[in-house]
Amino acid sequence: MKLIKKIVVVLLVLAALVYFVAIPYVHRETKKFSPYKTSVLELDNTVLKIDYSSPSKKGRKIFGELVPYGNVWRTGANEPTTITVSKPIKIIDKPLPAGTYSLWSIPNKKSWKIMFNTQIPDWGVTRINGNQTTHDSNYDLITVEVPVIDLQNPVEDFTITFEEQTLQQKSQNVISLAWDTTKIMVPVYK
């Protein structure tokens, strides 16, 4: 009986070491390669802020290989990308209430689906399988689809910015996501 108790105690200590020491260490090390970045837009007393980790291309083919087509992507690295809005806005024609949301995407060759999700998990992929995201579609508040823009010059670091574009002869704010030779723009309305 004492041997079983010792084995249980040793297993619990090992599990605690993995959970409280090893996993945080791996997360810190991973962040060195995909630095944390923030983009902010102030729009008529409304603040939009996007927090994300920015991986680099490093000579790799990104979309269709490193980031497979048709699969949910955490839209960056490390923790899921988040967007915080101080007041309600519209993403294309869909209302997004004030709050903080995780931002997920499904890249495809000609268009991307972008999901604004009310759940913000600790990490963007599972600890067991680094290719499986922690995205839960049950918490998708809105989903929009936007076309892909092919870039002539590759973008080395994954970048999310706010841009002002002229769309249909009107000035329009967009969330711009660019990496490798791919760019998408998600229109934002006050």
pTM of full prediction above 0.75: yes
Residues 46 and 63 placed together within one structural domain of the fold:
yes
User: Does any domain span residue 185?
Assistant: no
Q: What is the dihedral of CA 11, 17, 19, 25, to 10 degrees?
A: -150
Quote the pLDDT of residue 172: 86
Residues 116 and 127 placed together within one structural domain of the fold:
yes
Quote the pLDDT of residue 44: 85
Q: Which residues pair with 81 in a beta bridge?
A: 103
* SS3 at position 86: coil
Domain ranges, residue 16: 1-33
Quote the pLDDT of residue 148: 98
Asked if 53 and 33 touch (Cβ cutoff 8 Å), the reply is no
Residues 44 and 128 placed together within one structural domain of the fold:
yes
Residues 83 and 19 placed together within one structural domain of the fold:
no
Total tally of structural domains belonging to the chain: 2
Quote the pLDDT of residue 18: 64
Residues 82 and 49 placed together within one structural domain of the fold:
yes
Q: What is the dihedral of CA 151, 153, 154, 155, to 10 degrees?
A: -90
Quote the pLDDT of residue 140: 95
Compute CA 154 distance to the chain's CA centroid, rounded to the nearest angstrom: 20
Quote the pLDDT of residue 129: 44
The rounded average pLDDT for each run of 10 residues, N- to C-terminus, in the chain (190 residues) is: 72 67 54 79 93 94 94 89 96 96 96 95 55 80 97 97 81 94 94
Quote the pLDDT of residue 73: 92
Quote the pLDDT of residue 19: 64
User: Does any domain span residue 60?
Assistant: yes
Cα separation of the two ends of the chain: 67
Residues 132 and 85 placed together within one structural domain of the fold:
yes
Residues 76 and 11 placed together within one structural domain of the fold:
no
Task: Give the separation between CA 144 and CA 100, rounded to whole angstroms.
Answer: 17
Residues 29 and 116 placed together within one structural domain of the fold:
no
Residues 129 and 48 placed together within one structural domain of the fold:
yes
